Structure 1
Amino acid sequence: MCQNKKIMILSSFFSLRQSYLVLALIYGVIGTLSFSPYNFWPAALISLFGLQTLLLNKHFIQTSAIGFIWGIGLFFSGINWIYISIANFGRMPTAINIFIVMLLISYLSFYPMLFAILMNCFWPYPSLCRFSLAAPALWHITEFSRSYILTGFPWLQFGYSQIDGPLKGLAPLAGVEAITFLLMIITGLFAHAFYNRALKSAMAAITIIFICQWSIKLRWYQSIPEHSINIAIIQGNIPQSIKWDTKQLIHTLNIYTSYTHRWMDKVSIIIWPESAITDLESNQQPFLHALDHELRAHGSALVTGIIDSDIEHNNCRNYNSLIVLGDTESYSYHNQNRYQKNHLVPFGEFMPQEKLLRYLAPFFNFPMSSFSHGNYLQRPLRIAGYNFTCSICYEIILGEQIRENLHPDTNCLLTISNDAWFGRSIGPWQHFQMARMRALELGRPLLCATNNGISAVINANGNVEKMIPPFTRQVLNSKVTFTTGQTPYSKFGVRPVWLCTLINLIIANIGRRK
């Protein structure tokens, strides 16, 4: 009888523990629904609320497990599309591909686990200090760490879920990090209300949401109608499997030039996507000079992605670059009116410990994966008399880097990309959602030109003005109105969020000791 009772106690204990882990996994998966293409922004509140409530009254091992499993749910459901590029282009066995993806997901899940451990170690009791002060501060610190350690991977930050939600008005004030910070405060207040039956905490959370909803009406920029131009974005839709095939180069150039000829005289600026010209710039001098001459004769400018090769001290450096043709100044191979990508993607564009890794496995032998870093700060690209702050692919998700490269005379943001690596997955949609946030934060319109989609024009309020469907070969023609002015975020960046983090930790620490 006694033995049976012990078995029942053990059985109920493991059953209870597993239920917490299942809930943690579910809450993590729900978080993915808040991001594009699902765009169900309340899912961010549900996911973070679930995490905060599950962590209450748990010992160290339970806390660690809940934080880690919640992260597995979020990142497995949210970034599993990385497997597509590894499996399709890495040429490694399936088991190795799965291992690499799971290793990345496990690494990213370490950060919510760290948040959970710190919360329960220093603020174990369900107080208002824990939920409204300590939680947002610790979350900001762990998310910041995830964004910078080992080159950083700031994907699936919950602030992005609010690009069409009630908290979007906070972005021009203090950036996407401030939205994430406030989400943690709101969900913390709901968790406090749930656990302590504190109606006032729930009302405070709802009040914050309504105030932020009102702030969307604020405008931190001024439109300049007299500075409106017609643009054409050419979405070539070249399959990634043949993009770098040298036999396809002429065919690819013919696609882009044929569409370009149709829009000369009709638009001021024509935009080709990242590495639209799949060859070294030095090899394409006759083509580039001829196209430059033709464009200038028709009064149009063209900006395109290309591989810039620079020989210095007998050392050849390749840069993922943007160059301008057909502008008032004739094209020259040594023209400084160009942009070179700074933040390269590990393994895709540069190799950490290159000699060792290339020797170990063909997985690390992606085409054009030996780029050099451009300068962190670069002047705006001058196109058709206007200034464009540029980024290539992954860089558009780096809010602080884009902000620091924004000049007071920047008229527009421009990003080019090639998301064909990730197939017909949710990855490109998440990328596009983050790009929209940059326009909202900085109060500038944004032009997105991609090889296979999503190509679009986004206004200074982060809304999509016009877009063309992915995986189609089309031209997006639109009239773009430039803006001027500075948002608070463009001036101060995330400093206000760090100040709030410091103040919160000080007050929460004082409250913990009482």
Structure 2
Amino acid sequence: MLRDRLRRAAAPGAAFAAGLVHAASFAPLGLWWLQLLALAAAIRIACAARSPTLAGLAFGFGWFVSGVAWLFVSMHRYGGMPAPMAAAALVLFALYLGAFAATGIALATPSLRRALPGGAGRTPRGVAGAALLFAGLWGAGEMLRGWLFTGFPWLSSGYAQVDGPLAGLAPAVGVHGVGAAAALVAAALALAAPPSRREGESAGPGASAGRRAASGALAAALACLALPLLAGLALLPVRWADEVGEPIRVRLLQGNVPQQMKFDPARSVAAMQAYAQAIAAEPADLIVLPETAWTVPWSRTPPSIAAAIVDAVGDGVVAIGMPLPARTRRGEPTLSNSVAAIGAGGPLPWRYDKRHLVPFGEFVPPGFRWFVDMMEIPLGDFGRGAPHQPALDVRGQRLAFNICYEDIFGRELAPQVRDGATILVNVSNIAWFGESHALPQHLQIARMRAIEFARPMLRATNTGVTAAIDARGRVLGALRPHSEESLAASLRGTSGLTPYARAGDLAPLALVAALALAGLAFGAAAPRE
């Protein structure tokens, strides 16, 4: 009996371990090849398990409970939620996120099992069909996770590929298309096996025919493995956009204000003074401060600090993250999480208001007021920005801003690029997550956005990672996390639209649908038991 229990627990345990390895393939390690191996292992484990759904859920749980463990830090250390409640919330959230992976794995497992060595569908068509179907289902699940309940596409599988050959596909089909391509490679790895002696002998007098069928199945798996990698490599050197205009001098300020002190009035004034001194220390065409660098609107800035900033700006512009007065859809007064622009004459007639708000942090989902009340978050209900907001013009460069985790939604940045943005700018404050892996993960996300849109990306953050990224996703310069420093860069924007910028998420959606339909078509022609 004990042996049976251990055998039943083995598959979920192994799948959970594969999920942990899968999470480790993202930043800060950034081992793109490890993701392919971990996902291939998860497929083989699910195919051998009594319950592929349970194995898939264990894999997804391991992936997310470790990958987004920094949410516990946010809820407990900075939000004041009791540790048991914060741990339970993390577990439930990881199970929810893992359910998307589990669904894709469970739905594809019957086809994958038939395509494994010894299966009735171990033919070239059967192998190709199973791999293509899995890739389509996996990609569909990732896209659904990025949309349902406002979406949470953090750690979408394509992000792990930012330094690998599949990144070449990102300008064409976006991060979700890259994730689907990675799933195709992983499925091919799981199905790739040399012809066994049993496969050759099982045909009796037709042994050579059996060996040919097995060899054909292996060739199909290798083709599914190689084609996405070769396509990515072929697209990597393509120039999707050209540099435009003159370079602008940029300074990105990292204040490193501790989150637990950020809303203390005396500490807020001290932060303003420190930022004002940093602004005056070195002129630039554009100086960018992080999200909520100001915890009050500009109108409540101490007059001496405001005057010092205006005097120091010169011919440049200072962009400051701060709350600004706004109104709800019903016309009630509120605040918005915004960026204000300050010039030599004071505030400019431009602002950016955050559009995609964080559930529980910036708005309260219906029925969850009790949950938010357990946390101590001073800014809770923000107004939403308009879907289309103008870019900030700085010496001929058009800068499109996004705030905090808005940059994980490529579909929402695409209209900014189509409207003529030449440079993307992200302002963030993820001091909420302490010294966790959320910081390098967010930098990895920003790099993928730069690749998708062929646009440079600037990041000004409170605690890190503050960085300048070129239009190919390469980090030109970055500050040490949790340090009070500034980063200077000279940057030219780019002009020209990638296929993903033109189509948005319609591009990966078309790819995912094509993969799934092709998988079904090939699978229908494969023998069945």
**Structure 1 and Structure 2 fold alike (TM over 0.5):** yes
Match of 2:352 among 339, 345, 355: 339
1:67-466 equivalence runs, <5 A: 67-120=56-109, 125-126=114-115, 127-194=126-193, 198-204=217-223, 205-224=225-244, 227-264=246-283, 267-284=284-301, 286=303, 290-291=307-308, 293-295=310-312, 298-310=314-326, 315-326=332-343, 330-332=345-347, 336-353=349-366, 357-358=368-369, 362-466=373-477
Question: Residue by residue, what CA displacement relative to the aligned partner does 1:459-483 show, whole Å, maximum 9, x if unpaired?
Answer: 0000000111011111101111222
Q: CA deviation at 1:418?
A: 0.4
With structure 2 as the length reference, what TM-score do the two structures score? Answer: 0.88
CA distance in 2 between counterparts of 1:510 and 1:440 reads 33
Counterpart secondary structure, 1:56: helix
Indicate the larger mover: 309-318 or 379-388.
309-318
Counterpart secondary structure, 2:325: strand
CA distance in 2 between counterparts of 1:408 and 1:67 reads 41
Corresponding letter in the other structure for 1:168? A
Corresponding letter in the other structure for 1:344? L
CA distance in 2 between counterparts of 1:360 and 1:440 reads 37
Q: CA deviation at 1:501?
A: 2.6
CA distance in 2 between counterparts of 1:35 and 1:486 reads 28
Partner of 2:25: 34
Distance 1:39 1:504, change over 3 A: closer
Alignment length, in residue pairs?
493
CA distance in 1 between counterparts of 2:58 and 2:479 reads 37
Partner of 2:204: none
Contact kept? 1:68, 1:112, Cα under 8 Å:
yes
4+ aligned runs moved over 6 Å, structure 1: none
Contact kept? 1:237, 1:472, Cα under 8 Å:
yes
Contact kept? 1:269, 1:302, Cα under 8 Å:
yes
Contact kept? 1:281, 1:309, Cα under 8 Å:
no
With structure 1 as the length reference, what TM-score do the two structures score? Answer: 0.90
Contact kept? 1:131, 1:185, Cα under 8 Å:
no
Contact kept? 1:90, 1:364, Cα under 8 Å:
yes
Counterpart secondary structure, 1:125: helix
Identity across matched positions, percent: 28
CA distance in 1 between counterparts of 2:453 and 2:73 reads 33
Question: Residue by residue, what CA displacement relative to the aligned partner does 1:247-268 show, whole Å, maximum 9, x if unpaired?
Answer: 212211110000111112xx21
Q: CA deviation at 1:357?
A: 4.4
Corresponding letter in the other structure for 1:54? I
Partner of 1:6: none
Distance 1:471 1:57, change over 3 A: closer
Distance 1:372 1:131, change over 3 A: same
Counterpart secondary structure, 1:374: coil
Counterpart secondary structure, 1:277: coil
Question: Residue by residue, what CA displacement relative to the aligned partner does 1:332-367 show, whole Å, maximum 9, x if unpaired?
Answer: 5xx6511000111111111123xx644566424411
Partner of 1:20: 11
Q: How large is the Cα RMSD of the aligned pairs?
A: 2.3
Q: CA deviation at 1:315?
A: 2.0
CA distance in 1 between counterparts of 2:360 and 2:19 reads 28
Structure 2 unaligned segments of length 5 or more: list them.
116-125, 196-213
Distance 1:360 1:512, change over 3 A: closer
Q: CA deviation at 1:454?
A: 0.6
Contact kept? 2:100, 2:141, Cα under 8 Å:
yes
Distance 1:54 1:243, change over 3 A: same
Corresponding letter in the other structure for 2:424? L
Q: CA deviation at 1:95?
A: 1.2
Distance 1:105 1:223, change over 3 A: same
1:484-499 equivalence runs, <5 A: 484-499=495-510
Contact kept? 1:271, 1:302, Cα under 8 Å:
yes
Corresponding letter in the other structure for 1:39? G
Partner of 1:56: 47
CA distance in 1 between counterparts of 2:305 and 2:369 reads 33
Indicate the larger mover: 203-212 or 72-81.
203-212
Question: Residue by residue, what CA displacement relative to the aligned partner does 1:350-392 show, whole Å, maximum 9, x if unpaired?
Answer: 1123xx6445664244111111111122221233442111100
CA distance in 1 between counterparts of 2:158 and 2:193 reads 23
Q: CA deviation at 1:85?
A: 0.9
Partner of 1:4: none
Contact kept? 1:76, 1:105, Cα under 8 Å:
yes
Distance 1:96 1:294, change over 3 A: same
Corresponding letter in the other structure for 1:217? P
Counterpart secondary structure, 1:97: helix
Indicate the larger mover: 379-388 or 215-224.
379-388
Contact kept? 2:136, 2:512, Cα under 8 Å:
yes
Structure 1 unaligned segments of length 5 or more: list them.
1-9
Partner of 2:35: 44
Q: CA deviation at 1:202?
A: 4.8
Distance 1:122 1:235, change over 3 A: same
Counterpart secondary structure, 2:181: helix
Counterpart secondary structure, 2:47: coil
Corresponding letter in the other structure for 1:46? L
Q: CA deviation at 1:498?
A: 2.1
Q: CA deviation at 1:211?
A: 4.0
Distance 1:502 1:292, change over 3 A: same
Counterpart secondary structure, 1:460: coil
Corresponding letter in the other structure for 2:316? S
Question: Residue by residue, what CA displacement relative to the aligned partner does 1:301-359 show, whole Å, maximum 9, x if unpaired?
Answer: 111101001357872121000111116xx445xx6511000111111111123xx6445
Counterpart secondary structure, 1:279: coil
Counterpart secondary structure, 1:38: coil
CA distance in 1 between counterparts of 2:438 and 2:432 reads 10
Counterpart secondary structure, 1:109: helix
CA distance in 1 between counterparts of 2:406 and 2:327 reads 25
CA distance in 2 between counterparts of 1:222 and 1:361 reads 46
